[in-house]
Amino acid sequence: MGALLTATGICKHYRVGRERVHAVHDVSLRIDRGECVGLVGESGCGKSTVAGIVTSLIQADAGRVLLEGRDISAGSGRRRNVCTAIQMVFQSPADSFNPRLTLGDSIIEGLINQGIAKQEARNLTLEYLGLCGLPKTFADRYPHQVSGGECQRASIARAIAVQPKLLICDEATSALDVTIQAQIIDLIAKLRRELSMSCLLISHDIALIWEICDRVMIMCEGEIIEDGIPSDIISHPKQEYTRSLIEAAFLSSAWGGCCS
């Protein structure tokens, strides 16, 4: 498997008041074709920022992002190369829909941009909405007329409808209950099989990551501190932070377990 995406030495700083926040600090990562990579870390450690840089929506202060060997860093003027090859499910789904367009119209847009005919695009939209567990009628709703979970599912439908090479899910299932979450995970797994789609999963749900990812990266304070296959990391966490994360996850699952 060749590398689909490589990022080298990316950095992003923000200034808040007089302070300087190192949101992402010298991060390099690589995602192979068909691979599913998990990105785990404390809240505020820079995961969304990494996702933004990889999709070149955020301009990094330093570093390069290559998609299939081509530079797609924001500001390189090549963003259109990315086109629909990378898709992202945003952390705040409600804000990621244009309030003046129906959900359906927002989803269709990406399809039409790929050159799919209008009618077919509409059918695909309805189909993917259905796959994500939303009835057809939701295509004609506006973002403010749906629940948080429904909006998130629409957002997932939008991302996968265009069959991207790389799907980035930023807390894509946080607003979903377990049954639907399972349905979505299955859907993603199926797409991975069929299209050899790569995934970057950002989640706090360690169980989920462990379950479906080929590889996990642990982030802490803007840096990737650990990178390896889940079972290795669980059994031999190298870092103190990783260890505490895993312990906490065990603990919470134990709660769930004790009750059943």
Ligand X SMILES: Nc1ncnc2c1ncn2[C@@H]1O[C@H](COP(=O)(O)OP(=O)(O)OP(=O)(O)O)[C@@H](O)[C@H]1O
Smallest distance from Mg ion to CB 144, Å: 13
Could you say whether residue 61 binds Ni ion (CB under 5 A)? no
Spatial CA neighbour of 10 closest among 47, 39, 38, 43: 47
- Quickly tell me which residue has 């691979």 as its tokens: 35
What six digits make up the tokens of 74? 């924001």
| 22 touches, from Ni ion, Mg ion, another protein, none (C-beta below 5 to 8 Å by class) | Ni ion
Q: Segment 138-197, which members bind Mg ion (CB under 5 A)?
A: 147-148
CA distance 69 to 91: 28
Spatial CA neighbour of 223 closest among 11, 15, 36, 31: 11
Smallest distance from Mg ion to CB 175, Å: 7
Decide whether 48 or 87 has the Cβ nearer to ligand X: 48
Could you say whether residue 14 binds ligand X (CB under 6 A)? yes
In this chain, which of 29, 38, 48, 56 binds Mg ion, going by CB under 5 A? 48
Buried b (16+ CB within 10 A) or exposed e, 150-164: bbbbbbbbbbbbbbb
Q: What is the distance of C-alpha 172 from the center of its chain? A: 7
Smallest distance from ligand X to CB 236, Å: 24
**Consecutive H or E run containing 67:** strand 62-67
| 191 touches, from Mg ion, another protein, Ni ion, none (C-beta below 5 to 8 Å by class) | none
Decide whether 73 or 152 has the Cβ nearer to another protein: 152
One symbol per residue from 7 to 26: x for binding Ni ion (CB under 5 A), - otherwise; what is it?
Answer: ---------------x--x-
What six digits make up the tokens of 4? 């689909």
In this chain, which of 148, 193, 211, 232 binds ligand X, going by CB under 6 A? 148
| 165 touches, from Ni ion, another protein, ligand X, none (C-beta below 5 to 8 Å by class) | none
Could you say whether residue 175 binds ligand X (CB under 6 A)? yes
CA distance 95 to 165: 24
Q: Return residues touching Mg ion (CB under 5 A).
A: 48, 91, 147-148
